[in-house]
């Protein structure tokens, strides 16, 4: 049951640990036992009713949504899914709250490698303060005490529960996929790498290991994540330069990075922020440098079955991920071109992680991941 994966993580008490285990099993139960029933249920019970009334099948996800939210069986599953996320957070927060003071003290010992630069004057963008993204109480940025790291610790120890242990001991499966993509498709030995929206650095550290000669930077707006990221990187013996910056307007010099990357970041910003962030990527990259964003949703507007389209959006409405649906409707190709990325190099494709790092998980959700790639004009 050893839940402590590195020395900056807290050790749960007996009851806290098994309370967290319950949430893991609850989520697995919902995914394995109840979720597979939804499509057959819809086909045999919901759709026929719709046809009876309208003389045709639903045209789009909105029409599916209108009937599904009226259905108590579907809504029961949906509600259980939503509260499983809340139970995940409350079950890890007990551990973090109990151990927080000691953990904060420990960050002092774990501070020699790399660097940490905070900006107390930074403005947290409204899209991060309006509501708590994916229902983490207090969001990414809330400060509950001096030198707080609690939100970062909560993120680190809830990821294995969220992913049913698919992310690997260092929660880095997704970044491993991006690195595979870089090694297989981009012929480069990067000297300087930036990870935007790095938070606790779980997706940043793999770059230090994959490109030991390079200088690796991570930026985020949320201080509790960055403080923890720096201590965590030290606990895991990796040197990263973390700084508190808004990706919409960064202090890095122009033309200085070989690779700018992000992981699960773009879908948590906003309509107005996206072009600014992409412009910043173009500005700080060297001519010929590469931008690679890994995100949850494939970026193509193919026609999909309305039911599938509706279910795919579950997190948007039910897990406080409001922008992730809208991102898919944006003209990223146009925004990339406008920013100065060369048209022929822009690709919305996927990166693959190997299943070595996770416990036999084989579904696409964690192994084949959408990436948005482009090269700055030389």
Ligand X SMILES: C[S@@+](CC[C@H](N)C(=O)[O-])C[C@H]1O[C@@H](n2cnc3c(N)ncnc32)[C@H](O)[C@@H]1O
Contact of residue 13 among other proteins, ligand X, none (CB under 5-8 Å per partner type) = other proteins
Kindly state whether residue 143 participates in binding other proteins, applying the rule CB under 8 A: no
- CA distances for 321 relative to 75, 184, 207, angstroms: 18, 32, 27
* Contacting residues toward ligand X, per CB under 6 A: 125, 128, 140, 174, 197-199, 202-203, 219-222, 225, 246-248, 263-265, 268-269, 273
CA torsion sign for 103, 104, 110, 114 is positive
Among 124, 142, 186, 335, binds other proteins (CB under 8 A): 142
251 part of the interface to other proteins, by CB under 8 A: no
Considering only 4, 22, 169, 326, the residue that binds other proteins (CB under 8 A) is 22
147 binds other proteins (CB under 8 A): no
List the Cα angle 186/269/300 in 5-degree steps: 55
E strand or H helix that includes residue 128: helix 126-129
Is 45 a residue that touches other proteins (CB under 8 A)?
A: yes
Minimum CB separation from ligand X for residue 210, in Å?
Answer: 15
Minimum CB separation of residue 83 from other proteins in Å reads 5
Binds other proteins (CB under 8 A): choice among 4, 66, 70, 144: 144
Strand 192-196 and strand 215-220: pairing? parallel
Q: Which does 83 bind (CB under 5 to 8 A by kind): other proteins, ligand X, none?
A: other proteins
- The nearest distance, CB 205 to ligand X, in angstroms, is 11
Q: Note whether 26 and 164 are within 8 A (CB).
A: no
In 207-284, at which residue ranges do the beta strands (DSSP E only) sit?
215-220, 241-244, 257-263
Whose Cβ is closer to ligand X: residue 72's or residue 123's? Answer: 123
Closest approach, Cβ 216 to ligand X, in A, equals 13
Q: Phi and psi dihedrals of 37, rounded to 5? A: -80, -15
The entry of other proteins, ligand X, none near residue 112 (CB within 5 to 8 angstroms by kind) is none
Burial class (CB in 10 A: 0-12, 13-18, 19+), 25: exposed
- Residue 29 as a binder of other proteins (CB under 8 A): the answer is yes
Contact with other proteins (CB under 8 A): which of 97, 143, 337, 347? 97
Contact assessment for residue 293 and residue 148, using Cβ atoms and an 8 Å cutoff: no
Q: CB of 123 within 8 A of CB of 223?
A: no
Asked whether 375 and 290 are in contact (CB, 8 A), the reply is yes
Closest distance between other proteins and the C-beta of residue 269, in Å? 17
């Amino acid at each position: 049951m050893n839940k402590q994966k590195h020395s900056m993580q807290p050790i749960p008490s007996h009851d806290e640990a098994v309370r967290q285990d319950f949430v893991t099993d609850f989520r697995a139960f919902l995914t394995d036992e109840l979720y597979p029933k939804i499509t057959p249920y819809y086909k045999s019970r919901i759709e026929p009713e719709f046809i009876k009334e309208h003389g045709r099948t639903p045209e789009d996800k909105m029409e599916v949504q209108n009937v599904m939210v009226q259905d108590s069986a579907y809504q029961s599953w949906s509600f259980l899914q939503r509260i499983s996320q809340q139970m995940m957070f409350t079950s890890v927060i007990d551990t973090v709250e109990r151990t927080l003071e000691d953990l904060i003290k420990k960050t002092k010992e774990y501070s020699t490698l790399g660097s940490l630069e905070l900006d107390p004057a930074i403005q947290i963008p409204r899209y991060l303060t309006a509501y708590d993204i994916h229902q983490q109480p207090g969001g990414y940025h809330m400060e509950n005490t001096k030198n707080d790291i609690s939100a970062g610790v909560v993120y680190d120890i809830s990821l294995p529960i969220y992913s049913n242990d698919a992310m690997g001991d260092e929660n880095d499966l997704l970044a491993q996929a991006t690195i595979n993509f870089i090694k297989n498709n981009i012929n480069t030995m990067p000297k300087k790498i930036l990870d935007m929206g790095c938070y606790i650095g779980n997706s940043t550290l793999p770059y230090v290991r994959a490109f030991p000669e390079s200088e690796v930077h991570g930026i985020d707006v949320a201080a509790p994540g960055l403080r923890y990221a720096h201590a965590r990187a030290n606990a895991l013996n990796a040197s990263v330069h973390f700084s508190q910056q808004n990706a919409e307007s960064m202090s890095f010099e122009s033309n200085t990075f070989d690779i700018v990357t992000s992981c699960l970041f773009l879908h948590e910003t906003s309509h107005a922020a996206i072009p600014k962030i992409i412009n910043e990527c173009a500005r700080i990259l060297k001519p010929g440098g590469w931008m690679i964003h890994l995100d949850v949703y494939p970026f193509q507007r193919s026609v999909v079955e309305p039911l599938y389209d509706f279910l795919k959006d579950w997190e948007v409405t039910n897990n406080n991920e409001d922008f992730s649906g809208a991102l898919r409707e944006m003209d990223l190709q146009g925004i990339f071109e406008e920013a100065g990325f060369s048209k022929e190099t822009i690709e919305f494709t996927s990166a693959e992680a190997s299943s070595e790092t996770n416990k036999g998980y084989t579904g696409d959700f964690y192994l084949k991941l959408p990436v948005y790639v482009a090269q700055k004009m030389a």
